[in-house]
Structure 1
Amino acid sequence: MNRFAQFISAALLATPALATEETAKFSYDDVFNLEYASSPQFSNDSETIFYVRNFMDKMADKKRSNLWRIGADGSDHRPLTAGKYSDSSPQLSPDGKVLAFVSDRSGSAQIHLLWLDNGHFLQISHLPHYPAGLTWSPDGSMLAFSMFVPESKPLPVKLPTPPKGATWADKPVFIDRATYRADGRGYLKQGHSQIFVLPREGGTPRQITSGEFNHSGTLSWAPDGNAIYFSANRNPDHELEPGNSELYKANLTSGDIQPVTERYGPDYEPRLSPDGKYLAYLGYDDEHLGYHNVALNVLDLSQGTTRVIETATDRSVNQFRWLSDSKRIAYAYDDYGSTKIAITRLNGSEKLVAKDAGGLSLGRPYGGAHFDVSASGKVIYTHTDGMQPAELAITSGRQPQVLTSLNSDLLPFRDMAQVEEITYKSSYDGREIQGWVAYPPNFDPEKKYPLLLEIHGGPFANYGPRFAAEIQLFAAAGYVTLYTNPRGSTSYGHEFANLIHHNYPSQDYDDLISGVDALISQGYINEDQLYVTGGSGGGTLTAWIISKTDRFRAAVVAKPVINWESFVLTADYSRFFTKYWFSGMPWEKPEEYRRRSPLTYVGNVETPTLLLTGEQDYRTPISETEQFYQALKLRQVPTAMVRIPGASHGIAARPSQLIAKVASILYWFDEYKNEADEAEKPAVAVSDQ
């Protein structure tokens, strides 16, 4: 067994840490013991919260979940379901007596009902595919959901019939759709998502929509229960204009489907106000920019007029919920790397109620939060302070109250990395850049530490002071770990994000390197021990960085784009990338694609580089990784490639994959951290000209 195999095996077979100074650090095995809350929902009287408690099944190497309840004051915390199943999407019935949810406890994902008075639950569906967007009708007599409906198209060619007993190869697959595969789903089956309704008593679901369009996402019932509002792209050119969706109203009696909005751009997440007078939704006018701020819109159904609701200035709305008075809306948005929740009145006045939402991304410190709002205006939400995954918190008085402590059996007994915010000026134009530093346990500023720069993907995304197992593991291994939001990151407004419009990668390099220099200036970084890694867009930037400087002793490039020309022709959403990230097609603007491709500058790379990608990645296909790997091999630069079997772009979707990813990165850095280099030269910049 080679050293890499030994390193990974040791990581995956790690045993629970003992309470000693050496083993009390956050470890690989601790990943399997993490839990977090999601999908909170108030009871009708606002005294109880129902939520999903997520945990890891070590034997199956999967995330599982059960339904739990807790009092709004933190009391009576107990399970509603149990077992190593995936119970999700809880939806309280209008009368408050029953929870509908989706569970795989019968072997496939099906709709179940749970009676809250006696705890009994019953499967009411026998569906061939996963039901999504589960939503009660106003009178509680039906449930609406969307589900994939397969279609069968015969081959356009006539093939001979095999003789009896013959063993012939499988028939060819004929593909004529623009989007023929999708990351996480593989090669797509023929068919589309359609909307269904199912009686509360179960039975046969009735299909409401049809046609060669996908109908999914948030579903909202009309007050009389005779129509459903939804979002879809039903335009004739929907394959070439994937983001041009509208809101529609489907009549359940006649089957008629009428458009409710009409503009160029996405309109989605329709939600009727409790009084049925207004339809709120998210969307924006599409200008073919890399990034658009998402606005909260409200349509007056009686007047037919739409207005944009005043929300946080120059920030995107992530999600929203109506309050019971139909005059206020609670919404979430990202601001300077933190997820916040505010309540706004339709007349424009606003109140910030939470600024620490998140904790749903276990691997890396990305945004994302769930919340609900009570009749009295209290908000229950997933909370994180950077030291733990999502807990439940409720807005109560001046400061939110944290109700749960799902990891109290683990994290208090680990010496976790402390996370601290840092701001600095970019060397390119003096813009202020925000970042965070995770310090190794027992950090001593008088000592010298290796520095690990970890870069987020997207590129239109953001990191923040949120829990991240990968960051904690890097710090536990002794690395001061820096993660930042360079230009192009969201949560800083329209202009900052679009600094990389048709210009990525570019000066985001300067923003990142300036962060490294800012930390070096603090005096506790060993300048000869600099390391860099990142995934997706961060992998692209890692490859870009090592083509411009040899300051880093080693690099790990995870699931990158290396060659923009090949990427846009093999990625799952080619129509989006070519239209929004470039000014023309690769055969029209080859110089633009090549100027921005790390492959163009691979001749400058001297840094030992590990490449790491999932074999089923269709967002940044593994062929991108293979190009850079072969180029580095041809140049005789120390390199290796790690392929994660069965993994898509969400390379760390399973606990063992997250561990394997981090262990691979640390293995590579460890190989070069202690390498003797007597003739090491001073760092010099490498020109890209």
Structure 2
Amino acid sequence: MSLQKRPIAADDIKHIAVVSEPHISEEGTKYAFVQKHAGEEDIYYSHIYIQHLTDDKPVQWTFGEVQDHSPQWAPDGSELLFLSARSGSTQIWLMSSAGGEPRQYTNIKGGITEAAWAPDSQSIAFIASVDSEAGLMEDSTQEEKKPLEPVLVNRLKYKSDTKGLHDKTRQHAALLDLRSNKTTLLTKGPFDHFGLSWASDSKRLAFSANRNEDEDKSAVVDLFVLHLETEELEKMTESTGIFTMANWSGDGKYLAAIGHELEYADATINQVWIINSRTKENTCMTLKWDVQIGDAAIGDVRSSHPNPGPVWSRDQKHIYFLASERGSTGLYQMDMLGEIEAVHEEENHLFGFSYHAAKDFFIAGISDPSNPGDFFEIQRKAEAHVRLTDVNNEFLKKVDISIPEPLSFKAEDGWEIQGWLMRPAQFEEGQQYPLVLEIHGGPHAMYANTFFHEMQYLAARGYAVLYINPRGSHGYGQSFVDAVRGDYGGKDYTDLMSAVDYVLQSYSFIDGSRLGVTGGSYGGFMTNWIVGHTNRFKAAVTQRSISNWLSFQGVSDIGFFFTEWELKSSLPDSPEELWNFSPLKYIKHVSTPLLIMHGEQDLRCPIEQGEQFFIGLKKLDKTVEFLRFPRSNHELSRGGPPVLRIHRLEHMAEWFNRYL
């Protein structure tokens, strides 16, 4: 380790700047983006920055203890739109393209989740939380005191991890006319709408929704086109799958979208589709390419960054989109015959982009294991990209980074498995070090060539860190991602054990008597499963985990369909199968010291899952502790209160220090 550099600390999440959401101006000379950082306690701040392509550094445009996001230049170049909760709830704000003070343009009760300029710059479509009975209402400047009353539940989908218990509101499309400053509700009914996209004539608006009568039980998402002049709502797909992120072609004849037809339930890989807006003919363009369309990479410094979906070239001969393969997410182009070639395909994580059709160039956000992310200008015919930002330069100068070493090995049945090994930050030849096995959630996600603070922190604390993409992960084709369904704790488990065996045989610096394991969500399930099926690990930390599939089906916000999709078992048809898949069944075999970490407000893997495992183990006098995080949902490790994210990492490291 360099004498000038220090190990990464848990509280470095407050020192890492996270950039996202690039948006190029219409004239193509500048772009806007969001820069976010964690504050104290439970606060995050995000601001809008602008950078002219001829300038060395971006300029901050919004300030204060606020969360500004979703910047978009007006098509006529006059204004910059962004969303902000600076007035209390998230609303539309505009700034002159010359700068100045932002101005609030909506005051919608329930707030706004997305917005999109009309091509004529005369109106803005947006999605708002609306009580269908009451319609659009102004947000009161005074906080309303709600009476104490029970909550009546009559829907299957009555809660979600991000929103909590659902109320009467639904996500509806609305229109802000900038000439009259009036808002109009565009959709109605007990349905949720999202993913706005304007046709070039400013008369048609596309979006996604499940507007079927059985939408509570149905997983399908259709594409719709609303004709603003006639108020006609046209359904463009046939309720055969999930279609989102639609974008219009320049001539308004076609929509390009991301989707699939649920052939393998939620393990189905995404494809690029083209929909003829006149004939409603739907064509899957990437069927012969066995690659996940979109960004499947996971990390802990960024989450829920928006994907622009498939975007058209000016001449409509190409479509550009993200795709994830073998631990990397790149940018690709496809012609109208379905031929695909890379625009950017390197061992890193391209997490977002903006495309300027007239000048044919991209602004792309790229991260790698040594950098949380910066923006680059990409010209399709240029050999090298132009770096535009270096937002974490000062931070990276001060800390010692461990660069993961890629590895590949054969599973028990001969399948090839990919992964990475990180050496301790202060690695010295001839020394032996404990190893921590990290297991990702999903399971349909992908560890990637991106920056991961948690793993850097464990390496800084003296651990080798092993992480792999076992079967069930994205990035290795349809058969690979589907292979885990109905086999949780089967070959996915042996993939992980084979990874441990491989690195013990290949790297002499790993102390095989000091092995730890951790993971969250599905990774928490697998951690629970591992400690019930082997005693080779001397310490384990299970996070937001699943221990009992029988109760999970009824308490999780996705449980009523997830067990059928993923385990191919359900109540009341096969309760014995759900029990066989449950780590709780095997608690008598647990001898590994286990720390259980869970968010109190987790509705994806509710805290009762951790409670059951803790009480069962404690009653058997096993070595177990239970760490409960207040005001934390399933996103604790990525977007939870900063102070609790720091506590989480420190407790994890302390547990491993105690037993390894």
Regarding TM over 0.5, the answer is yes
The one of 457, 481, 487 aligned to 2:441? 457
Task: Give CA-to-partner distance per residue, 1:220-239, whole Å, 9 cap, x none.
Answer: 22333223111110111110
Report Cα offsets for 1:487-542 as digits up to 9, x if no partner: 11011110011111121121111111111122212100111111000000101001
1:287 aligns with 2:272: no
Q: Which runs of 4+ in 1 moved over 6 A?
A: none
Residues in 1 aligned to 2:57 and 2:3: alpha-carbon distance in whole angstroms: 36
Matches within 5 A, 1:178-189: 178-189=156-167
**TM-score, scaled to structure 2:** 0.91
Give runs of aligned pairs for residues 293-372 of structure 1, distance below 5 A.
293-310=269-286, 313-318=289-294, 319-356=309-346, 369-372=351-354
Is the partner of 1:658 in helix, strand or coil? helix
1:467 aligned to 447, 451, 462, which one? Answer: 451
Residues 103-502 of structure 1 aligned to structure 2 (within 5 Å)? 103-150=84-131, 170-200=148-178, 203-216=181-194, 218-241=195-218, 243-310=219-286, 313-318=289-294, 319-356=309-346, 369-375=351-357, 376-396=359-379, 397-426=382-411, 428-502=412-486
Deviation at 1:20, TM superposition (A): 9.0
Going from structure 1 to structure 2, the CA distance change for 1:501 and 1:62 (only over 3 Å counts) comes to same
Q: Percent identity?
A: 31
**Which residue of structure 2 aligns with residue 656 of structure 1?**
643
- In our comparison, the structure showing a higher alpha carbon Rg is 1
Deviation at 1:597, TM superposition (A): 1.0
Q: Mark the CA change 1:93 to 1:78 in structure 2 (over 3 Å): closer, same or farther.
A: same
Segment drifting more, 649-658 vs 22-31: 22-31
* 1:489 partner SS: coil
Distance 1:383 1:312 in 2: 27
Q: Is 1:92 aligned with 2:68?
A: no
> Letter of the aligned partner of 2:23 in structure 1?
Q
Structure 1: how far apart are the matches of 2:347 and 2:632? 28
Change (3 A) 1:289 1:121: closer
2:13 match: secondary structure: helix
What residue in structure 1 maps to residue 297 of structure 2? none
SS at match of 2:393: coil
Structure 1 residues 23 and 76 mapped into 2: Cα distance closer, same or farther (>3 Å)? Answer: closer
| Matched-pair contact (CA < 8 Å) for 1:38–1:370 | yes
After TM superposition, the structure 1 stretch with the greater mean CA deviation from structure 2, 537-546 or 664-673, is 664-673
Structure 2 Cα separation of the partners of residues 76 and 486 of structure 1? 41
Does residue 565 (structure 1) correspond to residue 573 (structure 2)? The answer is: no
CA distance in 2, matches of 1:49, 1:358: 22
Distance 1:550 1:118 in 2: 62
Moved more, 571-580 or 273-282: 571-580
User: Is the 8 Å Cα contact of residues 290 and 501 (structure 1) preserved in structure 2?
Assistant: no
The letter for the 2-side match of 1:351 is: E
Question: 1:67-82 to 2 correspondence within 5 Å?
Answer: 67-73=48-54, 75=56, 77-82=58-63
Tell me the CA shift for residue 61 of structure 1: 3.4
1:8 corresponding residue in structure 2: none
Output the CA distance in 2 between the equivalents of 1:302 and 1:446. Answer: 69
CA distance in 1, matches of 2:49, 2:493: 45
User: Do the aligned residues in 2 keep the contact of 1:334 with 1:340 (CA within 8 Å)?
Assistant: yes
Kept in 1: contact 2:201–2:252 (CA 8 A):
no
Separation (CA, whole Å) in 2 of partners of 1:207 and 1:647: 34
| CA deviation after TM superposition for structure 1 residue 62, in Å | 2.1
CA contact (8 A) 2:264 2:482 kept: no
SS of match in other structure, 1:626: helix
2:619 counterpart of 1:643:
no
Once the two structures are superposed, the pairs formed by residues 41-60 of structure 1 within 5 Å of their partners are: 41-58=23-40
TM-score (norm 1): 0.88
- Aligned-pair CA distance for 1:612: 0.3
Which residue pairs with 1:365 in the alignment?
none
SS state at 2:275 partner: strand
Contact 2:224–2:235 under 8 Å retained in 1: yes
Q: Is the CA contact 1:69–1:76 (under 8 Å) kept in the aligned structure 2? A: no
Q: C-alpha displacement at 1:41, in angstroms?
A: 1.3
Question: Offset at 1:584?
Answer: 4.1
Alignment partners' CA distance in 2, 1:261 and 1:312: 21
Note if contact 1:384-1:391 (Cα within 8 Å) is conserved in structure 2.
Answer: yes
Q: Deviations over 1:132-165 (max 9, x none)?
A: 2211112111000111113679xxxxxxxxxxxx
Q: Which runs of 5+ in 1 are unaligned?
A: 1-18, 154-168, 360-367, 674-689
Query: Does the CA contact (< 8 Å) of 1:102 and 1:111 recur in 2?
Result: yes
Contact 2:34 2:49 in 1 (8 A): yes
What's the offset of the Cα at 1:118?
4.0
Q: Could you say which residue in structure 2 is the equivalent of 1:504?
A: 488
Does the 8 Å CA contact 1:291/1:460 hold for their aligned counterparts?
yes
Are the counterparts in 2 of residues 557 and 609 from structure 1 also a CA contact under 8 Å?
Answer: yes
- What is the CA-CA distance between 1:344 and the residue it aligns to? 1.5
CA separation of 1:479 and 1:312: change in aligned 2, threshold 3 A: farther
